[in-house]
Amino acid sequence: MTELQESQFEKDFETFLDKGFAFISKNDGTISGAIDVLRERTFQKIQASGNPSSVSAFEISQNELVKAGALIPARTEAEHEAPAPFTLTVEEYRSIPTRVIAQKYRNQPEFKAAVDALIAAGKI
């Protein structure tokens, strides 16, 4: 690669990363390891093809690496947190059609618990 091509490669890489990159490397379990693997793979592909660098080249490499199992989705902080408890207000309950209430009551334990709580509190 020429100096100009390398400069474009780095700009495209930064643009790609700015969109968000939430993977870890299968090899070392780190995001930095995943970034290194992606950068190297994309560089090799561009060199081999003779095509200019582009953000889509990084996207293609990422998809290939994910499919091959070399990149693994990173767990986000939200995934580590316990889900918020399901709540249901009287107004929400009354706005739901009766048949939907019956179906949810039978099939969704969190909905059933919320309805039971409203009943126990004498609100419905």
Q: What percent of the chain has pLDDT over 70?
A: 93
Relative orientation angle of helices 98-107 and 109-120, to the nearest 10 degrees? 110
CA torsion 26-28-29-31 (nearest 10°) is -100
The model's pLDDT over 37-76, given as tens digits with 9 standing for 90+, comes to: 999 999 999 999 989 999 999 999 999 999 999 999 987 6
pLDDT tens by residue, 26-37: 999 899 999 999
The closest of 76, 81, 91, 89 to 117, measured between CA atoms, is: 89
Give the domain ranges of the chain: 3-80, 90-120
pLDDT category of residue 77 using cuts at 50, 70 and 90: low
